[in-house]
Every structure is written in C-alpha cells, then in structure tokens.
A and B are shown apart, each in its own frame.
Chain A
Amino acid sequence: MQPSAIKYEPYTPYLNGTSPTPPLAGIGEIRVPVESDLDIVAARQRGRALAARLGFSSSDATMVATAISELARNIVLYATRGEICFCLESHGDDPILVITASDEGDGIGDVRQALQDGYSTSGRLGVGLPGVKRLMDEFEISSTVGRGTVVVVKKWKQ
C-alpha cells in the first residue's frame, strides 16, 4: 500500500471564531493543519460543524468529534505535524462525511498490530485506531515507514 501524496497547504486561519459557515454543496476540501492540542480543538470544531450542517444526530456528531480527536492526537503524538482534511461524498441523497488524517511522520511499521486492541506505544489503552474504526462506517489506513500515514474514515448520515 502506497500512501497518496501528502501536500501541505500554507496555513490559513480557518477558525478565527467568526469564520463563515461552509457551504454545503461543493465545499471541496477543508484542511486543518495539526501540530498542537489547539489544532485538535480546531479540527473537532470544523468536523462537528460539518456534521451538524449535514443533519447528523448529536450522537453521530459526537462520534465524528471523537474520531477526529483520536486521529489528530496520533498526529501530534507520533508525527508532530500533519493535517485533517474534510470533504463530502454522497450515496444517492445521503451525504457522507469523509475525514482524512495524514502526516509525514515515521509511519507505522505494523499496521495490523496498530489496529489491535491494547496496542499503543504511548501506553494508553488501545481505544485509538481500533476505536475509531468501530465508530465510523468506513475505515482505511495506509502507512509507509519513513514516509507517513494516511487514515481515511467515512461517516454516513443515518
């Protein structure tokens, strides 16, 4: 598995507290750089706002926020910097929120092991990646040692 190319866009202040609400159709991609705990908050905020605009239930929106937390936290902990990217897909009339977390960190040597419960190099319980997989409807990961990791998750509107 080869990770798709990772591009870093120059940082733009998406969230200054008064950012315009994103239009629903054709939002293209919304990118949130992730380097610090503050960025985790920003990414969650953006994801939650999108989920709300798509009409997700509050529990589904919470699961989206949780997935973002775990993915962004992995970036901060293991890769120091990366980004969370949002875009929309649809299945008939049903919107699908697509969240891509990518970094140019060391990569994961054993992806299968990283998806097992209880595996975590930081000593936490393995809620991380396997937990995200269970909260989302679709989950894909590709990682190359020395080049980085890309995780794509999708949440369908119920």
Chain B
Amino acid sequence: MRGPTSALQEQFTKALETHLTQGGEAALLSAYELGRTVLNERLGVLDVATLLHEALVAACQRRPRESVRTVQAAAGFVLECLCSFEMAHRAVREANTALRGLNELLEEQTRRISHELHDEAGQLLASVYLALDDVARDLPAPAAARLQSVKTLLDKVEGELRRLSHELRPTILDDLGLMAALDFLAQGVSARTGLWVKIEGPRDDRFPSPIETVLYRIVQEALTNVGKHAQASAVTVVVRREPRRVCCSIRDDGIGFDPGTARSTSGGIGLIGIRERLVPLGGALSIDAAPGRGTELRVTIPGL
C-alpha cells in the first residue's frame, strides 16, 4: 500500500476550505466523494485521518485566532470523508459473522458425519459379524478357519472406521471437553508416529464450545505439521486459562524453520489454516521458530 499523494492532499485541503468558507451540501458531497476515492484507491483509514488532519492544520493556520471554531465547523466534513470507510467496516464485520456461521455449519456437518460413521456403520459391522458366525457354524472346519481371516480384516475395518470417526469429530470433545479430547488425540498421534506428546492444562475446566472446537482443530493441525515437517521427538501442548482469554502453546524439539520463508512453502499452508480458524473468534497466532531451535506456536483467543 502506498501513501496518499500530495495532489490528493491538495484536494482535501481545498475541499475543506470550500466547506469552511461557503458551506452547503455540495461541499459535503465532495468530502464524501473524496473519502470514496481514497477507499477506491486502496488507501487505508489512517491515510484519510492523515489527509484530514493535514487539511485541518492548514485551515487553522490560515485562521490562527479561530482554530477552535474552525475545528468545530469541520465536523460534518470529517464525517463525510469517513462514511465510505464506515460502509467498508460494516462489510468486514458482516463477512466475519458469516465466516463464523460457516465454520459452525461445517463443524456441525462434520459432527453428523462422524456420528453416522460411528453409529450406523458400526451397527452394520456388528450384523456382519453375527452373520459370519452363523455361516461359520454351518461350514466344515477348514472353511470356518478361512472365515476367521475375514473377521480379522473386518476388525481392521472397524478400527479404521472408529479412528476416522473420532478424528472427524471426537465425541469425547462434546462429552468430556477439550483436555480429554487432546489426551485422546495425543495417544493416537503417539501411537501412529512415535512422537512423545505431552498435554498440560486445566483438566476440570470447560471452555465455550466454539473455543474448544477451534483449539482442538488447531492442535490437531499443529501436530500433523510437526509429524510431517519437524523431525521432532517430543511435543508439549499447554492450555492455559488467563483473565478474559485462553492461551495455547504447541512446542516441539524439531529442526525448526525460518518463519519468514514458511509462507511460500507447503509448510505454510497449515499455518494459514490455523490463522483462518482464529479470525472469526478474534484470536491471534504467534510463531517462535528458527532453524535448529524447534518451533513454538502460541495461540490466544479472547472472549472468556
């Protein structure tokens, strides 16, 4: 983003002067149009503030004895200049609310799919087991033994289904809360990857559901990143309740990375995903990492 040009400054100063000396709706309209021009040129609200301020200083310098009255008379002009930014601001707020709603909808759908996988598919598998037992009874021994290998495969299918269902949306997150769900996640990750994962936090505490969901997803994403890129042997996840916010840090002892270059590599996509999840809750992510020194992600979410 480049700053406002001196030509634009001159336009502001001139328009304010017209407003102060002649008044009238035409001058107010040109103030509005100037603000809109600034917005269209992708300049920011601080640029308008600067342009307005400079114009006001010039106007006061021209009337050293009437500065207070000059500032008072500029009120309508200032509002007009900023009104297009008010529209843009409202648009962002609206988009944010929509994004939050979309996230909740996605989470709800994931929850439904996860429960259906677990319940419906689980039920079907149970009936298949019963049917197999039934068939086995009527078969001679060698054929029954071959059926046993089918059952072993089915066990694997059942295990996969359960894992998939839990990873989509662990029921434990709804039933027992974030800490229990993180413990469960850590066990799964350790078993799969050999990473040593330690979870610390207030075991008896529950957070608002949207915060628990987002933190769970972030830790899940972070652990996936560690498993894929960090070459770490241990990860510590700490959840902390602070006055009016929740903090969570995920620290590993891996090879680290240069946060400046992560944006352009595939490793950055996980971080972008984490940031996106934080936007609707007004949360923030900071990264402490350097080549050879491990990585620490720190997440804070306000609103407790």
Contact = CB atoms under 8 A, between A and B. Distances in A.
A39 B62 CA distance: 32
Contact of A134 (B26, B28, B29, B87): B87
B252 interface: no
A127 B88 contact: yes
Given A58-B79, A127-B36, A135 B29 contact: no
Interface residues of B, number: 21
B84 A131 contact: yes
Given A62-B76, A62-B79, A134-B91, A41 B26 contact: yes
Contacts, number: 59
A66 B87 contact: yes
Interface residues of A, number: 21
A125 interface: yes
A151 B86 CA distance: 21
20 contacts: A41-B26, A58-B75, A58-B79, A59-B79, A62-B76, A62-B79, A65-B25, A65-B29, A65-B32, A66-B86, A69-B29, A117-B91, A125-B40, A127-B39, A130-B91, A131-B87, A131-B88, A134-B87, A134-B90, A135-B86
Given A117-B91, A125-B39, A127-B36, A66 B25 contact: no
Interface in A64-100: 65-66, 69
A117 B80 CA distance: 21
Given A125-B39, A125-B40, A127-B39, A65 B28 contact: yes
B161 interface: no
Contact of A63 (B29, B36, B83, B94): B83
Contacts of B32: 65-66, 69
A135 B87 contact: yes
Main secondary structure of the interface of A (DSSP, over half): helix
Contact of B76 (A40, A58, A135): A58
A92 to B, nearest CB: 26
A41 B90 contact: no
